[in-house]
Amino acid sequence: MPSATIKIFLVHGDAKRLRTAELSNWTGKAVAGPRSEFDSVLARDESHNSGVYFLTGIDPETGTNTVYIGEAESIRDRVKSHLDKDFWNHIVFITSKDENLTKSHIRYLEGRLIDQAKQAGRAQVKNSQGGGARLPESDREDMEIFLKKIHQLLPVLGVEVLVPTSIKAAGATELELLSCEIKGLKAAGHLTPNGIVVFAGSQAVLNERPSSHKYPWPVNMRQKLKDEGALTVKTDHLLFMQDVEFSSPSAAAAVIHGGHANGLTAWKNKDGKSLKELESI
């Protein structure tokens, strides 16, 4: 992804409150804010334009990250209909400063964004079905460029629902493969901007350590992954069925080891050097 300059304006001087964001040499503009400032967000002139929007939060029933992605010819009019949804606590909408997004454009963007959010797997997508629209080839290419800009801007505003789990670290030409081994079982992964991703096919111990009942986070996390189908029980071990990203090497190692573990020493490269040794070079 090319380098970019982002201009963020904090309307009230608070990064958690109403803010706008723009990329250099791009006609798009994002407006973001918490649900508690819903009226202020919709009071913006940009809310009268056509565009796409993201409602993000935590599903109260499952405790998982959740997103609803929509499109509207008037953002202000459409998003008011979502006040009956209780899961979301943050809104981001994106419009074009030159007001050149047609109904077909935003329907195309909505469909692509829903598909990409589902593929990323970072959040439960609340849309019952995808959108989408057929576009002439030239328009389609323009919207694909618009999509790439949305991908650059959203994480800066705290919305990572489109970020692939195994995203490469910025500037990395080749990611270093890391391994975590215990009792003849082996897990593999690599560092990411958010922590570390453990690859599908990795193994974890079947039973938790007795000490994990005093500090139950690994037990709870392993159960959560089982419930989601990301971790399954085999005869003598657990198996990762998909790539899973953890917030830190220690968090990943704790799930693999079945109890507290120091990720800086548990994860090693192909030469047997631990993360702690690599960081001290």
Task: Kindly report, residue by residue over 162-186, the tens digit of the pLDDT.
Answer: 988 765 443 444 578 999 999 999 9
8 Å CB contact between 90 and 55: yes
Q: Where are the domains of the chain?
A: 6-157, 178-279
Query: Mapping DSSP to helix (H, G, I), strand (E, B) and coil, where does residue 77 land?
Result: helix
In the chain, the N- to C-terminal Cα span, in Å, equals 29
Residue 157: CB atoms within 10 Å:
22
How far apart CA 229 and CA 23 sit, in angstroms, is: 38
Q: What is the pLDDT of residues 102-130, one digit of tens each?
A: 999 999 999 999 999 999 888 999 987 76
Q: Which of 7, 26, 5 has the alpha carbon at shortest distance from 96? A: 26
Q: What is the pTM of this model?
A: 0.78
CB 96 within 8 A of CB 29: yes
